[in-house]
Amino acid sequence: MEEQLGIHVYGSIFRFRELFEVIMKESVHRHFTVVLDEFQTLYRVNPAIFSEMQDIWDRYHNHSKINLLVSGSIQSMMRKIFEDSNEPLYGRPTSRFILRPFSTGVLKRILADHSDKYCNEDLLCLYMITGGVAKYVELLMDAQCFTKERMLDYVYRQDSYFLTEGRDLANQEFGEEGTTYFSVLQLIAGGITRRGEIDGAMHKDMGTYLQNLERNFYMVSRMKPLLARPGSKVSAYEISDQFLRFWFRFICPYQSLIERQQFGLLRQNAGQHYEQFSRRTLEQYFHAKTMESGKFTQVGNWWDRKGENEMDLVAVNEFDHTGIIAEIKRNPSKINLAALQRKTMALPVSEFGKYQFSFHALSLEDM
């Protein structure tokens, strides 16, 4: 502050509240910007800091000319600080910005800028590993990993950033209860997605853990058939983040192999199960791409209670009552649009009767 703003602080400052009050007093007389990065770590220093900030902010901000920016990398903690009505800084922000992954269109342009010979399999693998997160994309592009094979090779290198990234992210969120949450996420990543199946695999009721993963940590989302009624019990859980979904399926369960540096075996395992795992990734890619088109208000899957009729993509526009229904397969020759149209007979008329649908076949070729 003394260097950048020319403020002379007399005496010694030992507490954050003393520093913050100096800042706020000065902001009454002049315009300047203050940025506090990794703001959520103040919780570990002293949770009372936020109450002290509230008191000082409320006393000065009506006459202040400050532009105060705070940023944080742990979404659950930042939401708790500013969106929990029991927290002292609730209601104080005047604006909020969430840094989101690159869209599918931007991801395509980035890969094309680096390699004019890329194929859609390479694009799918890039989306599967990174989900469009800038840091992850940068690592792969800087390492000249433009193909599926080179991307997977890079993930399983001895010095790979990706091997520990999932654990680091999850440990920041979970703290002491991490072991149970890790187990639940491994089950979901491995295809055990229904509540009853998860309870059975863990041999106890996991409702509280699943609720925390969904509402507090924002790591899983509960999927329901599109336009399902609010009380519908037909649902399944899915890991929201593409990288974490990949990490909990292909890296987390094999920590002992990583410790023994058996990276070749890990790479081989990922390659063997890649095609099966990436089927759902392809669906998620087209869900994201469809929503990014700006033509639809809701996009999702649909399935009936018995699981006899499933639709990979259903998108609707609630304003003009149009929509699309698509079957998604890696191999276009395996798509049967006639069978897909027959499945639509199972759609509830009360929810879908007012929509006019068109039918589409989507595959790797359409990415």
* Rounded CA separation 309/218 (Å): 29
DSSP annotation of 103: P
pLDDT score for 308: 86
State pTM to two decimals. 0.91
Distance CA 68, CA 95 (A): 11
- Whether the CB-CB separation of 127 and 133 falls below 8 Å is answered with no
- pLDDT of 271 reads 97
Torsion sign over Cα 239, 111, 73, 25: negative
Nearest residue to 194 (alpha-carbon basis) of 287, 286, 303: 303
pLDDT tens, residue by residue, 111-124: 999 999 999 999 99
- Cβ-based burial of 118 (10 A; exposed 0-12, middle 13-18, buried ≥19): middle
Distances (CA, A) of 160 to 173, 239, 286, 300: 22, 22, 29, 34
Q: Which residue type does 98 have?
A: I
pLDDT, position 356? 97
Q: Which of 201, 312, 329, 335 has its CA nearest to residue 276?
A: 329
Average model confidence (pLDDT) across the chain: 95
Cα–Cα nearest to 146, from 184, 119, 183: 119
Among 92, 86, 29, CA closest to 55:
92
What digits encode the pLDDT tens for the residues 198-232? Answer: 999 999 999 999 999 999 899 999 999 999 988 78
Residue in the structure block whose two tokens are 């390492």: 143
Instruction: Provide the 10 A C-beta neighbour count for residue 338.
Output: 7
Q: 165: pLDDT confidence band, cut at 50, 70 and 90?
A: very high
pLDDT at 251: 97
Chain segment 322-336, per-residue pLDDT in tens: 999 999 999 999 999
For 225, residues 6+ apart whose C-beta sits below 8 A from its C-beta are 232, 234, 300, 301, 302, 303, 304
Distance CA 46, CA 60 (A): 22
Torsion sign over Cα 285, 291, 292, 296: positive
The amino acid occupying position 326 is: A
Distance, CA of 357 to CA of 147 (rounded, Å): 36
Compute the distance between CA of residue 217 and CA of residue 207 in angstroms, rounded to an integer: 14
Q: Which amino acid is at 192?
A: I
Please give the backbone phi and psi of residue 222, each rounded to the nearest 5 degrees, phi first.
Answer: -95, 115
pLDDT per position as a tens digit, 261-312? 999 999 999 999 999 999 999 999 999 999 999 999 999 999 998 888 999 9
Q: How far apart are CA 244 and CA 131, in angstroms?
A: 9
Q: Is the pLDDT of residue 177 over 80?
A: no
Give the pLDDT band of residue 148 (cuts 50, 70, 90). Answer: very high
Domains by residue range for the chain, with CATH:
2-83 (no CATH), 162-260 (1.10.10), 293-366 (no CATH)
> In terms of Cα–Cα distance, which of 307, 311, 343 is closest to 327?
311
